[in-house]
Structure 1
Amino acid sequence: MDLMSQATFGYPTVSWFLPIVYGSLGAIPALLSLFFDFDQTADSLRSAGQDPRRNVYDFIIVGAGSAGSVVANRLSEHFNVLLLERGGDPNPLALVPALATILLNHPENDYMYRSIPQRSSCLSLNNRQSSWSRGRGLGGSSTLNLMVYLRGHKLDYDNWANITGDSRWSYDGVLPFFKKSEDYCVQCENNPNDVFEPQFHHKNGFLTVGKPPYQPLVEQFLQGCEWNGIPRVDLNGPYKEGAATVTYTQRNGRRLSTYHAFLQPILHRKTLTIEKYAYAYKVLFRGPNNEAYGIEYERHGRKRVAFATKEVILSAGSLDSAKLLMLSGIGPQEHLHSLGLKVRINAPVGQNIQDHIGTFPGPFLVEAPKSFNLDRDANAINALRFVNNGSGSLTTSGIHANAFFSSFRAHEEGNPEWPDTQWMFLGLGNWGVIDETFAHAFNVRSDVLKEFFDPVKGKDAFQITVMLSRPRARGEMHLRSANFRDTPLFNPKYFEDLDGSDIKVMVEGVKRAVFMSENSPAFRRVGSRLSPVPFPPCRHLPFRSDPYWECFVRHYSVSIYHYSGTTAMGPRDSPHSVVDSELRVIGTKRLRVIDAGIMPTVVTVNTNGPVIMIGERGAQFVLDTWDSYIRQRGHRSFNNYL
C-alpha cells in the first residue's frame, strides 16, 4: 500500500494547504527577484577579479540556450571556448514542472518580448500583442518551456534537404544527431498501450527524455484519437498521423534544461569559460572577406571585447541572433541604412519569421475528479511525493499528450501524410485562478478570461490546444533603433497568409477536437462536454457555428513560442538564405548561426528537441571543419548512432 496516499497529517488535505499554495504563488515574483539580484551581484563581484587580458579563445559562442549549451559542450571537449550568456543561473523554481506556466512573463527569467499589434489574430490579447516569452539565463528557453520533447515529422527534414540541396538535413541525416543527445528513460514507459520503437532511441546521452509519471485523462484522449482515426504511434519515430503520451525533458520528475543536461556536468572543464550577464552587441570583422574575429559585449556595466582564433558562433535564439547580425551590419540594406548602421552584407535577416499559433477550445467539463486541479492537487502529499521520489501531480507541466493529423489543406496540396495540425492535450481542471494564470502567461485580457472561466471554476475539466503546425503566414522583424538595448519590432502576421487558409485549418482543428471530445466513447464515459459559456467577444454569433469558431480563434489566439526562420538556411546563391547548409553566414568567414533561426521552414512540432538537434548537427559541422587540428591531438568526438 502507498503510505503517502493514506496520509492525512490530521487535516483535510485541501482546506489547510490551499492558503499555503496561493501564498506561495503570490510570493513567486519576490522569490524570482531575490534570486536574480543575489546571482547578479555575486557574479559582478566575481568578475571584478578576473584578468581582463584573458580574452582570446578558439571559439566564442553567444547564447547558452537550447542550442548554445550543446555546442559549448561538444566544442569544449577539444578547444578553448568562451560562452557568453546574457542572463544568469536558472532559478531553482523552474525545476518544478507544475510551475512552468506560472513562471512565464517574469522579467528575472523571461525577456517578455511582445509582437506589434496584430490585425487578424490575438484580438483579445492586451493591445492585440502576442506574448513572445524567451528564457533568460543559462539553459535559455529550455528553463521556461513546457518541457515537451518531440523531434518532428520525417517530411519536415526531407523538405529541408530539398530546400538546401544537402541530404545531411534529411530525416535520415539528422536522426543520428537526435539519438546522440538522448538518454531515453525506458522505465518511464508506464502506459502499456503506448507504442515505443526502441530502434529510434538511444541511452546514455546527456539529455534524459521520457514519459511523465502523472498522466490525467491521457488514456481517454488517446482512445478518443483512435476513434477519430488518429492511431497511437511513437511520435519520436517516423509516422504519418499519430498520437502519444507526452515525452518530457525530465529527470526524476524534475525539469531537465539544457543547462542541467549539457553544461552542469562539464563545469569542471578548464577549456570552458562561461561569462554570465554578458550582453553581446557587435560581431567584429576584418578584411575584405568579412572574417569574424571577436565580439564586443557589455558585462556588469563595463564594455568588453573577446577574440576568437577560429570561429564566432551565434546561438542567441532566433530573435536575438538576428538582432545581433543586424547590429553588426548584416541584414536588409534599406532597413540598416535607415538606422544609420553601416551595411556590411545585404541579407534577408529577420524576413522569414514563422511561428506556431494556437488556441484553447474548451474547457471540456468531466464528471469524475480526473484532471489536475491546482486547488485540490497542489497539496502536502503531492509536494512530499515530488521532493522524495519525483512523482505525483507536481511533475506535470500541463501538457499530457499530443496528436498530429492532416487537414483538408494537406490533402488538397497532395501531402496527406505530412500533418499540419497538432493537438496538445491539457488535463487541467478549472482551479480558482486559472483565468489569471492564462492571462499572465499569454497576455490575454484578464476581464475576458474572468468572464469566460468564472461560471465553471472548481469543476474538473480538460482543454486541447489546437496548433497550426505548418503555417503559411510569414512575418518579419526589424530593429527598433541602433541601440542594442532596445527590443526589436516583431510582426508574425498570423492569419495573414495570401490564400487565407491558415484560419480555416485552425477552425477545422477546433471543430474536430470538439467532436472527438464529446462523441468518442472514452470521453463520453467521463461525461465530457464543452462548457456552455461562449467566449465573451463572440457571443453575438450562434454558439458553435463556423463564424463563432472563427471569431474564437481570431480572438483567443496565442503564440506557442516557436519562432524560427529569421536566419534561414539555404543555397548560397538564394536571395532567401542567410546561412548555408553548414550554418555559415553567407558572405562572411568564420561566423555561424546555430539555433532555431536557421530553420527554412518551421518543424511541425514543439521546437526544443529540434533545436537541440541543430546544436548537435552544427557542432559536428564545426568539428569537421577543424578535423585536422583534432586529429593532430589524437581524438574525435562523434560516434555514429545510426
Structure 2
Amino acid sequence: MLRLSFAVCLALGTLSLGVILDNVAELNKLNLKFDFVVVGGGTAGNVVANRLSEDPKASVLVLEAGTSNADVLDIIVPFFCTRATPDTAQDWNYTTTPQSALNNRSIIYPRGFVLGGSSSVNYMVYTRGSEEDFNRWAKVTEDQGWGWNSLLPYFKKNEVFTPPADHHNTRGQFNPAVHGYNGINSVTLAGFPSPVDNRVIETTKESEFPFNLDPNSGSPLGISWAQATIKDGARSSSATSYLAPNFIARPNLHVLLHARVTRVLQTASNTFRTVEFQDLNGNRSTVTAQKEVILSAGSIGTPTILLHSGIGNSSTLKSLGIQPVHNLPSVGQNLTDHSLAFLSFVVNSNNTFETFDRNATLLAADLAQWNKSRTGPLVDNPLSHTGWLRIPDDSSIFKKFPDAAAGPNTPHYEFIISNGMFLPPPPTGNFLGLITAVVSPTSRGSITLATSDLLAPPLINPNLLGSEVDFFILREAVKSAFRFASSPPWKNYVISPFGLNFNSTDDEIDEWIRENGGSVFHPAGSCSMSPKGATWGVVDPDLTVKGLSGLRVVDLSIVPFIPAAHTQASAYVIGERASDLIKEHWSQ
C-alpha cells in the first residue's frame, strides 16, 4: 500500500518520516511516467535518485528488492553492525562457490537486502583509498574524470564531517582540510574511547607502523584513527542520508520496495529502457523509463540482471537456454575482493568486548544509555583504528611477479584493530582483534549463472587468495601483525596469538589461513569500465553499457581495479559523478 510512515520508535528514540511505496498496485494507481528508473536503492543508487530528482522536472523511480531500513535496531545501532548480517531479513544470504585456496570452503557472502543496500548493513568504515588508485582508473579508462583530482570534489560533496557522539577534542585524530562539511552522508570519528587507543598510538612510534593523521588524504600509508559513516551515534547510510525525509518527500521521487528486478528488456534495437520486476507475491510487472535505466544492483546483482537479460557471453547464455541479445563477454568477469584473516590475541584484561557481550545486564544498561542520550559504547562500530601497510619492495614475491598495488604509496594490506574478537568468542577469555586483509589483490573471480531460473542465486566466485601474490601478502601481513602485537606498548597486555603462536612457521600460518581465511565482503569490478571503443569491458567511461542505448551501470561493479580501501566511499563517489554525467547528457 501507499505508506506515509511516521515511524516513531520510542525504544530507539528515532523518528523516521517519508513517503514510500511497498505495493506495485499502488504504483500503478498513480499512473505515472518516469524519466529515470534506478534499479537498486543501495549505496550508489540512492545517490543517483537524490541528485537526479534535484531537478523538479525529472521524475525518478527507485526499485528496491528488499525491505525498509526503518526501525531495525541492528542496522541503526552502530555497535550492532555485527548482527545485521548474515542470516537476517536484511541480507541476500549468498554463499560463494568452493574457494580452492581456502580448503574448498564455501563462505557466507552478505549483501544488503534492504533500502540503503550494503550501506545499511556494513561496518560503516569510511576510507577513500590512495590517490594512485584513482589515477590508475583514469589511465585505464583514458578518462581523467576518474582521476583523484577530479573525484576529490565528489568525495567532499558526498561528505558532511560531523563531531563524534561524545564531542571530544578530535585535534590530532584527523585532518580537517581533506574533508567535506556541506555534503549529505555523515562521517565521524569514534564517540567512545577504546581501552586500546593509547597502546595503538604508542605503537606508531615504531618505524614499521608510522602514524598517519588522515588516511583519506590520498596518502593512506600508516596507522590512523578509524572514521565511520555515523551521525549522532546512529548509522548514516544512503537510505538515512540521501533518502532523508526532506528528499524522499519530493513529488518527483518515488521508491518502491519489494520490487525484485529480474531483467531489462529491449524497447527498440540495441535500446533497453524497460525493467521487469517481481513483487512479494511472485507477480511480474514492467516499467519503462522515458530516458534511462540506471542499473545499481551492485557487483552481484547488476551482472546477474544483465546475464538474465541476454547481455553477456552469447555462447554461454545460449547453453543455459537464455536467448542472447547482445554479446558482451566481460559481463560478470573481473570480480575482485579483499581477502582477510581474522587474527585475535589473548590479552591480560577484562575490559574488552567479550566481557560486555557475556553480561546481559551490562548490555541492557548500555542500550538504555544509547536510547536516552546516544552516548556510550554502542555509538561506534567495533573498530578503533585502521592501518594501511606495504610489504618491502625487495620481497621475494616481486622478483617473480609485478607489484599489484597502484603505486608506491598504495598499501598491500590492512590492519583492522579492535578491542575484542571480531568473530563470536569462546566462552572464556579476552582478546585484541587484529584483522589482516589483502587490499591490492591480483586474484580475479566471476559472477556466472547456473540456470536460466530468474530467481536462482548466481554462482559467486571471488577467487579469494587465488594467486600466489595474494597468499604471500596475507602471510606477510599476519607476521606483521605478530610484530605489532609483540612490540613494547603491548608488553604485559598481549599474552599470545589465539590459534597460532608468535613463532609459527610459514607452513603453519598458511594452513591456518586456508582454514580460517575469508572476505572483507568488498565485491567489485564485475562490469568493468574500459576506454570508449575498447573490445573488452562492460561500460564506457560515462558508464553507459557498451553498444547499447538507454542503459547505464552505476555501482562498484564498474571499477577496473578495486581500491585499496573499504569500498563504500568509492560507491558514493561513483554515484555522485554518474549523476553529473547523466545530467550533462540530458541537458544537451
TM-score normalised according to structure 2 size: 0.89
Instruction: From 373, 383, 399, give the equivalent of 1:399.
Output: 383
Match of 2:539 in 1: 579
Return the letter of the residue paired with 1:213.
G
1:6-17 matches, cutoff 5 A: none
Question: Is 1:513 the counterpart of 2:481 in the alignment?
Answer: yes
- Tell me which of 284, 297, 306 is aligned to 1:303: 284
Is contact 1:194-1:232 (8 Å) kept? no
Q: Match of 2:372, SS?
A: helix
Provide the C-alpha distance between the structure 2 equivalents of 1:365 and 1:585, rounded to a whole number of angstroms: 52
- Does the aligned pair in 2 maintain the 1:361–1:514 contact within 8 Å? no
Residue identity in the other structure for 1:197: N
CA distance in 1, matches of 2:433, 2:54: 45
Residue 157 of structure 1 deviates from its aligned partner by: 0.2
Write out per-residue CA displacement over residues 176-200 of structure 1, whole angstroms, 9 at most, x where no aligned residue. Answer: 1110011101466746563432222
The residue that corresponds to 2:493 in the other structure is 527
Rounded to whole Å, the distance in 1 between the matches of 2:394 and 2:408 is 5
Partner of 2:10: none
1:426-437 alignment, distance < 5 Å: 426-428=418-420, 437=424
Does residue 1:560 correspond to 2:520, yes or no?
yes
Q: Is the 8 A contact 1:354 1:602 kept in 2?
A: yes
Is 1:366 aligned to 2:348, yes or no?
yes
| CA distance in structure 2 between the aligned counterparts of 1:186 and 1:532, rounded to whole angstroms | 36
Report the more deviating stretch, 358-367 or 476-485: 358-367
Deviation at 1:546, TM superposition (A): 1.2
1:379 has 2:363 as partner: yes
CA contact (8 A) 1:292 1:590 kept: yes
Cα distance in structure 2, aligned partners of 1:66 and 1:182: 13
Shift of the alpha carbon at 1:341? 1.4
| Contact kept? 1:507, 1:549, Cα under 8 Å | yes
In 1, distance between residues paired with 2:503 and 2:389? 25
Between the aligned partners of 2:26 and 2:218, the Cα distance in structure 1 is 52
Specify the SS of the correspondent of 2:294.
strand
CA contact (8 A) 2:187 2:227 kept: yes
Output the amino acid matched with 2:333.
Q
Note the C-alpha offset of 1:264. 2.4
Map 1:240-251 onto structure 2 (within 5 A): 241-251=221-231
| Number of the residue aligned with 2:79 | 98
Distance in 1 between residues matched to 2:554 and 2:443, nearest whole Å: 24
Q: What is the CA–CA distance in structure 2 between the aligned matches of 1:50 and 1:201, rounded to whole Å?
A: 39
Amino acid at match of 2:273: Y
CA distance in structure 1 between the aligned counterparts of 2:324 and 2:30, rounded to whole angstroms: 31
Report the equivalent of 1:267: 248
The answer as to whether partners of 1:230 and 1:403 remain within 8 angstroms in 2 is no
Q: Say whether the 8 Å CA contact 2:129–2:220 is kept in structure 1.
A: no
d(CA) in 2 for partners of 1:174, 1:50: 36
User: Is 2:36–2:292's contact at 8 Å kept on the other side of the alignment?
Assistant: yes
CA drift at 1:113: 0.6
> Which residue of structure 2 lines up, in the alignment, with residue 632 of structure 1?
none
What secondary structure does 1:101 align onto? Answer: helix
CA contact (8 A) 1:378 1:393 kept: no
Which AA in structure 2 matches 1:568?
S
- Tell me which amino acid in the other structure corresponds to 1:422: E
Match of 2:579 in 1: 619
Mapping for residues 441-460 of structure 1, pairs under 5 Å: 454=426, 457-460=427-430
1:142 Cα offset (Å): 0.9
**Aligned-partner Cα distance in 2 for 1:256–1:340:** 43
Q: What SS class does the counterpart of residue 325 from structure 1 fall into? A: helix
Residue 222 of structure 1 is matched in structure 2 by: 201
What is the match of residue 339 of structure 1? 320
Paired with 2:509 and 2:249, the residues of 1 have a C-alpha distance of: 55
CA–CA separation in structure 2 for the residues paired with 1:575 and 1:319? 23
CA distance in 2 between partners of 1:610 and 1:627 (Å)? 26
Task: Specify the code of the residue in structure 2 equivalent to 1:256.
Answer: S
1:547 aligns with 2:490: no
> How many residue pairs are counted as aligned between the two chains?
549
The CA distance in 2 between the partners of 1:324 and 1:532, in whole Å, is: 42
Q: Displacement, 1:528?
A: 1.4
| Separation in 2, partners of 1:193, 1:522 | 22
Q: Which runs of 5+ in 2 are unaligned?
A: 1-19
Q: Secondary structure at the match of 2:358?
A: helix
Q: For 1:229 and 1:561, how far apart are their aligned partners in 2?
A: 25
> What residue number does 1:20 align with?
none
> Hey, what's the Cα distance between the residues in 1 that align with 2:531 and 2:312?
17
Distance 1:177 1:581 in 2: 16
CA offset digits 1:561-617 (Å, max 9, x no partner): 100100001113333310011111001012100001001011111111110111111
Distance in 1, Cα, partners of 2:62 & 2:86: 25
Say if 2:343 and 2:497, in contact at 8 Å, map to a contact too. Answer: no
The 1:523/1:483 distance shift into structure 2, 3 A limit, reads: same
> Bigger CA drift: 201-210 or 414-423?
414-423
Q: Which moved more, 1:396-405 or 1:158-167?
A: 396-405
**CA-based RMSD:** 2.2
Choose the corresponding residue for 1:503, options 433, 446, 471. 471
- Partners of 1:417 and 1:482 lie apart in 2 by 45
| Partners of 2:45 and 2:211 in 1: CA distance | 36
Change in Cα spacing, 1:487 to 1:361, as seen in structure 2 (3 Å) is same
2:574 is equivalent to residue 606 of structure 1: no
% identical equivalent positions: 28
The structure whose residues are more often helix, as a share, is 1
1:569 aligns with 2:569: no
Answer yes or no: is the 8 Å Cα contact 2:464–2:519 preserved in 1: no
Choose which of 329, 334, 357 in structure 1 pairs with 2:339: 357
8 Å CA contact retained: 1:71, 1:619: yes
Structure 2 residue matching 1:179: 3-state secondary structure: helix
Aligned counterparts of 2:518 and 2:253: Cα–Cα separation in 1: 38
- Given that residues 544 and 552 in structure 2 are in contact (C-alpha distance below 8 angstroms), is that contact kept between their aligned partners in structure 1? yes
Alpha-carbon distance in 2 for matches of 1:285, 1:249: 38
Comparing 604-613 with 336-345, which one deviates more in the overlay?
A: 336-345
CA–CA separation in structure 2 for the residues paired with 1:80 and 1:369: 53
Residue 217 of structure 2 aligns to a residue whose secondary structure is coil
Deviation, 1:61, is 0.3
- Is 1:410–1:416's contact at 8 Å kept on the other side of the alignment? no
- Give the letter for the 2:523 counterpart: Y
Distance in 1 separating the partners of 2:577 and 2:302: 18
Q: What's the TM-score, normalizing by structure 1?
A: 0.81
Kindly provide the amino acid, as one letter, of the partner of residue 88 in structure 1.
T
Per the alignment, residue 315 of structure 1 pairs with: 296
Show the counterpart of 2:5: none
* 2:401 pairs with 1:421: no
Structure with more strand by fraction: 2
